[in-house]
């Protein structure tokens, strides 16, 4: 049984090349905003707002449910970056939850009055 399945009852996709591991290893380009010993913050390829960042652990973890210690460290770094701004902090777990890269990542999405970014669980409109 793959190691990822040992820590979760949810199925995970078959292992594939990981773009975030490639970025961390220097094999793929990225705009790095901040780097710690354990975590990297980068600008996503298609940011949804100005200042949108991805916070990714340097250790490959499929999602936040697979290693709570690494997930907590990653979220702590995200909180440090987001401390002085209005924002959404988002992570997804699994295909049904719209996870497309199976390496834990936390989106920090800065918000501004009238930014036009609507979330389906709020009454706010675009």
Give pLDDT tens digits for 54-88.
999 999 999 999 899 999 999 999 999 999 899 99
pLDDT, tens digit (0-9, with 9 covering 90-100), for 85-110 = 999 999 999 888 888 899 999 999 99
Band of pLDDT at residue 12, cut at 50, 70 and 90: low
Tokens representing 80 are 């440090």
List of domains in the chain: 3-110 (3.30.428.10)
**How crowded is residue 77: how many other Cβ atoms within 10 Å of its Cβ?**
22
The answer to whether 66 is a known catalytic residue is: no
Q: Judge contact between 64 and 25, C-beta under 8 A.
A: no
* Token pair 């991805």 in the structure block, residue: 54
Residue 112 is given by DSSP the state -
Q: Which of 60, 66, 103, 105 is catalytic?
A: 105
Nearest to 108 by CA among 43, 45, 36, 58: 43
pTM comes to 0.83
The number of angstroms, rounded, from the C-alpha of 113 to the middle of its chain's C-alpha atoms is: 24
């Amino acid at each position: 049984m793959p190691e990822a399945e040992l820590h979760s009852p949810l199925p995970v996709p078959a292992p594939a090349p990981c773009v975030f591991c490639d970025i961390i290893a220097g094999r793929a380009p990225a705009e790095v905003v901040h780097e710690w010993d354990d975590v990297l913050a980068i600008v996503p390829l298609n940011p949804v707002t100005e200042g949108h960042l991805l916070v990714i652990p340097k250790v490959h973890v499929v999602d936040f449910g697979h290693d709570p210690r690494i997930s907590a460290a990653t979220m702590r770094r995200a909180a440090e970056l987001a401390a002085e701004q209005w924002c959404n902090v988002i992570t997804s777990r699994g295909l049904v939850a719209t996870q497309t890269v199976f390496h834990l990542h936390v989106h920090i999405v800065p918000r501004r009055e009238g930014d036009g970014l609507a979330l389906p669980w709020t009454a706010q409109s675009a």
